[in-house]
Amino acid sequence: SQTIHQWPATLVQPVGSPLSLECTVEGTSNPNLYWYRQAAGRGLQLLFYSVGIGQISSEVPQNLSASRPQDRQFILSSKKLLLSDSGFYLCAWRVTTADYGYTFGSGTRLTVV
């Protein structure tokens, strides 16, 4: 079956510290992968998307970067976190067995203090 894993579930980090969030997909190959952020009281904001290994497109210039070192692995990183980086980070992938249905991971709630 096709599943998506995202960790950690919650994270509290000090300002200026680095960040690494990981997302992996099972049961499929060459998926389209996406990172979204949901800040308090705001909608889901697309941060990055990737259509293949090493291929990253950024939608919003900011303090974050993304990498796709393997086909089914998508990583979100920051060298120095800001308070404004706090939010709910969601990884998603496009289900390839149907023309619809983007499935989300369980999310990481990041609090920068």
**Which CB atom, from 15 or from 39, has the smaller least distance to another protein?**
39
Q: Shortest distance, CB of residue 94 to another protein, whole angstroms?
A: 6
Per 3-state DSSP, what percentage of the chain is helix, strand, and coil (rounded to 5)?
5, 55, 40
Binding letters toward another protein, positions 31-60, x by CB under 8 A? -x-x-x-----xxxxx--x-x-----x-x-
Listed residue (43, 30, 23, 6) closest to 95, CA to CA: 30
Examine residue 74 and tell whether it contacts another protein (CB under 8 A): no
Task: Classify strands 44-52 and 33-38 as parallel, antiparallel or unpaired.
Answer: antiparallel
Of 37 and 81, the one with the shorter C-beta distance to another protein is 37
CB within 8 A of 69, min separation 6: which ones? Answer: 53, 54, 75
Contact positions vs another protein (CB under 8 A): 32, 34, 36, 42-46, 49, 51, 57, 59, 90, 92, 94, 99-107, 109
